[in-house]
Homo-oligomer: A and B are copies of this chain.
């Protein structure tokens, strides 16, 4: 039996359907992520799980029991709020101690566990500060510590690492994972950071405008997006409108208007003539000088239009013959040579036939 289950949950605000017919099942000890653009209904779902809001339709079950009518304080879960909701009249330590006090833990245990939690989020030095005396990221860490310290069975995290720098965030991620392993907490993690979602989660649900578009394991989401939206939302992708020219059992010939023919593969039975999208990850594209390997398939010529230095990688925007701009990512594997090609350089791009994906919608 799933730890938490959402059955056809819908929530409306006036005429707006913030959550539409969402069904989910989260297992004990699972790290589950809700990923989606701003305003797609992630927080609304969390609020319903936590019990601050009730579904207009559908039901939420914990251990198979409906939660409807169970007040938030009786649900064995804690929430780390997107807006932190720190108690302004309590010190950092007081905030973190709160859930333990509520659980009636003995004084010295509370002191010990608060100390541990603050250590975890690197805030021992701020224990006696008040929320208005600490920085944004520090607030977020207090919220995190407050949510974690009680070791609930289920922890709802609403963009709870968003205000932290990469280093700290990574440490926190590691701590979260460790906690999960040790204590078996299940997480429902809301984030808009796909790298975070992909790195941490057992499963990720990608949402759009109140609906779940795809719920899957991270690498499958990346490599097998269900539709254009998911492909586009997760990671960088080149999306090319195409038409199926011919489809065999494995091989697929696509025509991109103005660009030419694209060779791909797809096990699904596709009809020639149907149109869809061809999705291609930038890191699967290779760029080279025009002169090189002119004989390859899926090879298109163009000019470097723009390049963006991203530290470990450089993003090239290459304008192809028909004006279509394709993005390619090149690792900066050679030190000191961040730029292989300069803006304006004539180049060619190319990819393997199994690099891209044909998407029907």
Residues of A within 8 A of B (CB): 13, 35-39, 42-43, 82-83, 133-138, 140-141, 158-159, 162-168, 192-195, 198-199, 218-219, 222-223, 232-236, 281-284, 286, 308-313, 329, 331-336, 338, 352, 354-356
Cβ-defined contact, A168 with B311, below 8 A:
no
**B38, A141: Cβ atoms under 8 Å?**
yes
Rounded to whole Å, the gap between the CB of A303 and the closest CB of chain B is: 20
Contact of A352 among B140, B194, B312, B335 (CB under 8 A): B335
Name the B residues within 8 Å of A284 (CB-CB): 332-335
Interface centre among A140, A333, A334, A354 (most CB of B within 10 A): A333
15 contacts between A and B (CB under 8 A): A38-B138, A38-B140, A82-B163, A83-B136, A163-B192, A164-B192, A194-B311, A195-B311, A222-B309, A235-B311, A281-B312, A284-B333, A312-B329, A313-B331, A331-B331
In the bound complex, residues from chain B placing their C-beta under 8 Å from that of A222 are 309, 311
Q: Name A223's closest neighbour in chain B (CB-CB).
A: B336
- Name A311's contact: one of B234, B308, B354 (CB within 8 Å): B234
Which residue of chain B has its CB nearest to the CB of A169?
Answer: B192
- A164 vs chain B, min Cβ distance (A): 6
Least CB distance from A143 to B in Å reads 13
A229, closest chain B residue (CB) = B167
Chain B residues with Cβ below 8 Å from A193 are 165-166
Please tell me if the beta carbons of B133 and A13 are within 8 angstroms of each other in the complex.
yes
B308, A335: Cβ atoms closer than 8 Å = no
- A284–B311 Cα distance when bound, in Å, is 11
Interface contact A38-B82, CB-CB below 8 Å: no
* Bound Cα distance from A142 to B206, whole angstroms: 24
Bound CA–CA A43/B163 (angstroms): 12
A312 to chain B: which residues have CB within 8 Å? 235-236, 281-283, 313, 329
- In the complex the two chains form, is B164's CB within 8 Å of A223's CB? no
Instruction: List 15 additional contacts besides A38-B163, A167-B232, A286-B333; criterion CB under 8 Å.
Output: A38-B135, A38-B137, A38-B165, A39-B135, A39-B137, A43-B136, A164-B192, A165-B192, A198-B311, A281-B335, A283-B313, A313-B331, A331-B331, A334-B352, A335-B354
